[in-house]
């Protein structure tokens, strides 16, 4: 299960995201970006963040540490913004915290180049979870300590909003034509050879086990939180085996693949 901490101070809203996350301090003396259970997107956004984030971590991607963040609504009484105060009041109990990465910068393809191997790994992973929110318009990647970090997976696994469609989604293609890393010549074949065998039911079950029961209760068509977890495991396991065959990349000429990942320096060649 996720480590449990308690929010002790609400610092500021982060208005870049549609769900209006907030920066908070917790009783472990760490700052977290809090994703609220009372946000309009609902608890399934938090479920997607946990499962996808924990799968990514187990596959070797850099993802901020996730915690179960307990919130007392009284913490927001001094917040002047009525929208934020309403969000805090409606989110009492367990929320999701992502460890804040100080001095991290948003990914910029003109300033930071990604090697074909790493680009392929990210695109393959996004195809697995059907992440529709890693486009050039909204990369949802950070550069921290010189390395690429993945964030914000709440819009993934769209099929869990209608479980009857899950079997069909397991076989659907993944449109990566607008993916933020498509211009870097992602090596999908190498990524599939490395990652697909590692996406076992055991790995997926461990990731799903980190989702708090309260976010999985009363799911229509399921008798228990564990039954919902099993549905996530089965759908992702089936998709992992062959999704690389259905990744749609931009057609036409592709820029030469970058050999390494890192900051672009003046006069450097890719």
pLDDT tens, 155-204? 999 999 999 999 888 889 999 999 999 999 999 999 999 999 999 999 99
Is the residue at 153 inside a domain? yes
The reply to whether 73 and 111 lie within a common domain is no
Range of the domain at 42: 3-99
Is the residue at 253 inside a domain? yes
The reply to whether 92 and 109 lie within a common domain is no
The reply to whether 75 and 150 lie within a common domain is no
The reply to whether 74 and 170 lie within a common domain is no
Pick the last residue of a domain from 50, 65, 99.
99
pLDDT tens, 202-228? 999 999 999 999 999 999 999 999 999
- Tell me the pTM: 0.93
The reply to whether 158 and 253 lie within a common domain is yes
The reply to whether 32 and 66 lie within a common domain is yes
The reply to whether 74 and 141 lie within a common domain is no
How many domains, in total, are found in the chain?
2
The reply to whether 23 and 89 lie within a common domain is yes
Is the residue at 85 inside a domain? yes
The reply to whether 144 and 88 lie within a common domain is no
Is the residue at 37 inside a domain? yes
Is the residue at 269 inside a domain? no
The reply to whether 9 and 125 lie within a common domain is no
Structure tokens at 246: 């259905």
The reply to whether 132 and 61 lie within a common domain is no
Is the residue at 268 inside a domain? no
Single out the residue of 174, 153, 179 nearest to residue 232, CA to CA.
153
Percent of the chain with pLDDT over 90: 77
pLDDT tens, 218-258? 999 999 999 999 999 999 999 999 999 999 999 865 555 56
Is the residue at 270 inside a domain? no
Pick the last residue of a domain from 55, 76, 99.
99
The reply to whether 154 and 257 lie within a common domain is yes
């Amino acid at each position: 299960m996720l480590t449990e901490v308690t929010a002790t101070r609400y610092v500021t809203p982060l208005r870049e995201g549609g769900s209006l996350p907030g920066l908070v301090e917790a009783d472990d003396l760490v700052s977290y970006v809090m994703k609220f259970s009372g946000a309009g997107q609902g608890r399934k956004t938090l479920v997607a963040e946990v499962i996808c984030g924990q799968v990514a971590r187990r596959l070797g991607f850099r993802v901020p540490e996730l915690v179960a963040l307990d919130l007392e609504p009284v913490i927001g009484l001094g917040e002047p913004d009525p929208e934020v105060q309403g969000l805090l009041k409606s989110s009492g109990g367990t929320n999701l915290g992502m460890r804040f990465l100080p001095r991290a910068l948003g990914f910029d393809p003109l300033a930071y180049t990604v090697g074909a191997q790493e680009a392929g790994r990210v695109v393959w992973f996004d195809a697995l979870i059907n992440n529709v929110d890693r486009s050039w318009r909204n990369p949802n990647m950070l550069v921290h300590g010189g390395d690429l970090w993945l964030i914000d997976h709440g819009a993934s696994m769209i099929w869990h909003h209608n479980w009857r469609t899950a079997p069909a989604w397991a076989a659907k293609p993944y449109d990566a034509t607008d993916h933020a890393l498509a211009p870097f010549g992602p090596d999908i074949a190498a990524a599939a050879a490395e990652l697909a065998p590692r996406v076992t039911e055991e790995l997926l079950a461990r990731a799903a086990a980190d989702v708090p029961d309260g976010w999985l209760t009363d799911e229509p068509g399921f008798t228990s939180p564990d039954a919902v977890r099993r549905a996530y495991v089965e759908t992702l396991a089936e998709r992992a085996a062959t999704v690389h065959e259905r990744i749609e990349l931009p057609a036409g000429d592709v820029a030469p693949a970058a050999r390494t990942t890192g900051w672009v320096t003046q006069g450097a060649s890719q």
